[in-house]
Amino acid sequence: VAIDSVAKDILSVGARRLAAAGYGVRLPKTADCFVTAPWYVPHIGTVRVAGEKSFQVNHAILARALNKEKKSIEERFGVTEGMPGARLLVIENQILSFAINGYAADHPYGQDANEIEFLLYTALADKAPIECFSARIGRTFHIDAAEPHSFLLAFFSAIRDSHEADEDFLLLDVSGEVTEVSIVRN
């Protein structure tokens, strides 16, 4: 009921503001739903790929490493995505940082490496409430469904990319019944 009420208010107020700004009454084609704790659980892991011989970093190598790590997380937490009766789902799987042979790399593709290492952020959520939120928002905005995301990753990305951000910082989300505290280093 709360999701319906808030979505309808956003639609009502937003439609008026879009019309006043000259956009007419066009509705968004997509909607992103950011959930906070306790609706999801974040997991950050370090993934390493090493070879005896030098190799070139490419999409296929990263795809294999990501798929292997995702399967490991699914096994560890009992996620059986796509299976009937699955309770958990992965709502995000994002590389936060990348290093080649121990050195940070913003653009790793095409570089030669003996070892690559990346921090992988994964957010897991209980499937039932996320699907319910997504479907209700989708009905209100007349789209298939809202795309779920964790608030923590959006919050982290906004702070990390700001010019004032230090190398190490603390993120606090004190907006709901559960307070999230995250320590960011390097």
**2-16, 68-82, 125-139, 140-154: segment of lowest average pLDDT:** 68-82
Which residue from 154, 146, 149, 185 is spatially nearest to 10, judged by alpha carbons?
146
- For the stretch 15-41, pLDDT in tens is 788 788 887 767 778 888 898 888 888
Residue 164: Cβ within 10 Å count: 6
In this prediction, residue 81 carries a pLDDT of 57
Query: Would the pLDDT of 86 be above 70?
Result: no
In this prediction, residue 109 carries a pLDDT of 92
Letter for the amino acid at 60? A
The neighbouring-strand residues paired with 89 are 125
- Give 153's DSSP letter: H
Q: Which two tokens stand for residue 174?
A: 């004190």
Strand segments, DSSP code E, in 58-157 are 88-100, 103-104, 112-126, 147-150
In the structure, what pLDDT confidence band is assigned to residue 87 with cuts at 50, 70 and 90? confident
- For the stretch 140-169, pLDDT in tens is 888 887 899 998 898 888 887 776 767 788
Task: Check whether the bond before 108 is cis (ω within 30° of 0).
Answer: no
Mention every residue, 6+ apart, whose C-beta is less than 8 A from residue 7: 136, 137, 140, 141
Cα dihedral 97/116/148/184 (nearest 10): -30
Q: Are 10 and 127 in contact (CB under 8 A)?
A: no
